[in-house]
């Protein structure tokens, strides 16, 4: 059983998103509907490569963990975040819609 850390209050703004290397590439960072496992592996490998060139990777990872994001953030998949004790809080039903809304809000705010 994995110990799940409580989601802390957000203390940092998201101004780091201004320098995100993934701008305009959100298709690589959020799973399309009914994505096959092999396609997910390929998509996440491409996303990981981009993250590892990103100057704000650790800020992004911390943000995703604190806010229990869906999708690939800060060089981590949802599964990797969950294994680290930060699983998403969104039920499986409706995840795609929630992920799209969160991504849109993050882009608007950046
Ligand atoms: S670490 Fe990855 S997901 Fe986060 S801003 Fe950079 S490129 Fe985007």
List the domain range (segments joined by +) for residue 30.
15-109
Residue bearing tokens 């800060």:
74
CB neighbour list of residue 12: distance below 8 Å, 6 or more residues apart = 59, 62, 63
> Contact 76/56 with Cβ under 8 angstroms?
no
Q: Is residue 72 part of a domain?
A: yes
> Contact 55/39 with Cβ under 8 angstroms?
no
**pTM attached to this predicted model:** 0.74
Q: Is residue 4 part of a domain?
A: no
Q: Is residue 87 part of a domain?
A: yes
For ligand 1, mutation pick of 12, 65, 73 (most atoms within 8 Å of CB) = 73
Q: Which long-range contacts (CB under 8 A, 24 or more apart) does 75-78 make?
A: 75/48, 75/51, 77/44
Q: Is residue 38 part of a domain?
A: yes
pLDDT at 46: 98
Q: How many domains does the chain have?
A: 1
In tens digits, what is the pLDDT along the chain, a chain of 110 residues?
555 554 444 455 678 999 999 999 999 999 998 899 999 999 999 999 999 999 999 999 999 999 999 999 999 999 999 999 999 887 665 666 777 777 788 778 77
Residue ranges around ligand 1 (CB below 6 Å): 20-22, 29, 50-51, 54, 56-57, 60, 73-75
């Amino acid at each position: 059983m994995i110990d799940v850390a409580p989601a802390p209050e957000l203390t940092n703004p998201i101004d780091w998103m201004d320098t995100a290397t993934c701008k305009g590439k959100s298709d690589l960072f959020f799973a399309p509907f009914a994505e096959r496992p092999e396609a997910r592996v390929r998509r996440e490998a491409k996303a990981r490569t981009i993250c590892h060139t990103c100057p704000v990777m650790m800020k992004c990872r911390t943000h995703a963990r604190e806010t229990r994001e869906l999708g690939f953030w800060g060089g981590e998949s949802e599964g990797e975040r969950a294994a680290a004790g930060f699983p998403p809080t969104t039920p499986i039903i409706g995840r795609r819609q929630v992920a799209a809304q969160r991504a849109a809000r993050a882009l608007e705010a950046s």
